[in-house]
A = this chain, B = another copy of it.
Amino acid sequence: MRIGQLARRSGVSVRALRYYEEQRLLESARTPGGQRDYPDEALERVQLIQDLFAAGLSSRTVVELLPCVSTGVATPAMLDQLITERDRIAARIQDLTRAKTKLGRVIENVTAANVARD
Interface residues of A (CB under 8 A from B): 51-52, 54-56, 68-69, 72-74, 78-79, 82-83, 85-86, 89-90, 92-93, 95-100, 102-104, 106-107, 109-111, 113-114
Contact = CB atoms under 8 A, between A and B. Distances in A.
A96 B93 contact: yes
A100 B104 contact: no
Given A72-B106, A79-B110, A93-B93, A52 B99 contact: yes
Contacts of A99: 51-52, 54-55, 89
A107 B95 contact: no
A86 B97 CA distance: 10
16 contacts: A51-B102, A54-B96, A55-B96, A55-B103, A56-B96, A68-B106, A72-B109, A72-B113, A73-B110, A74-B113, A83-B107, A86-B107, A89-B99, A89-B103, A90-B100, A93-B97
